[in-house]
Homo-oligomer: A and B are copies of this chain.
Amino acid sequence: MAARISTKDKILNAAEALFAEHGFEQTSLRQITADANVNLASVNYHFGSKKALIQAVIARYSSLFMPALDAKLKQLQSHPQISTREVFDCFREPLRELVHINKRGPAIYLSLLGYAYAEIQGHLRRFTMQEYGDVILRLVTLLHAANPQLTAEDVFWRLHFVLGATVFAQVSSQALQEIAKADFNSDVSAEDIIDKLIPFIAGGLDAPHENEI
């Protein structure tokens, strides 16, 4: 009953798993094509270059995630009162929807974002900003509305701390899950990590400004 998957999709599926685990530069086309059971040359035939493959992998997720997030944020924008917690809760469902691309889609997407940020300085970040800049802007606006006591710059920095905590948690999630299992005998899924993360980042964002303590 194995579905007949096109070579192009086989490559995308193998690539995203390897990219999420080892990063973009650390993953070779030889590994990808071996895992996908396709010929080495087919990557360049279907995508043109490794760089284009990376963008295709990310775009498959972003094109699903970003519009869904934007819709949630728009909805929240009409509320009279907005809390930080409500803003971050907007991420839950769009993130969960990514299982339709891959069972581990939510974790994969966050890992990809992390590596994109750390590795390809500027390149993919600029791409995202151009393509989805309005979503980011809406997000910052909402967070500022939820925290009028902070300056716009505070919100900017804290949003990046949030991003850091999130992608780091996902990139090192496998190791952390194993340690948690060994030390606390607890099985923690990728979604459980999100549940643990959201109170943390909401608490961090709501914290008073340095000078006010």
Mark A residues whose CB is within 8 Å of B: 23, 25-26, 85, 114-115, 117-119, 121-122, 125, 152-154, 156-158, 160-169, 171-172, 175-176, 179-180, 183-184, 186, 193, 195-210, 213
Contacts and interface: CB of A to CB of B under 8 A. Distances in A.
Given A125-B175, A161-B201, A204-B204, 17 more contacts: A23-B118, A117-B172, A118-B168, A122-B175, A153-B183, A153-B186, A156-B183, A157-B193, A157-B196, A157-B197, A158-B196, A161-B168, A164-B166, A164-B167, A168-B168, A199-B209, A200-B205
A179 to B, nearest CB: 8
A163 B205 CA distance: 16
Please name the 10 residue pairs, one residue from A and one from B, whose CB atoms are nearest each other, closest first.
Answer: A164-B168, A203-B207, A204-B204, A200-B204, A161-B165, A165-B165, A164-B165, A153-B184, A199-B207, A203-B204
B168 A163 contact: yes
Nearest to A178: B122
Contacts of A193: 157
A169 to B, nearest CB: 6
A169 B164 contact: yes
Nearest to A121: B175
A162 B160 contact: no
A161 B168 CA distance: 7
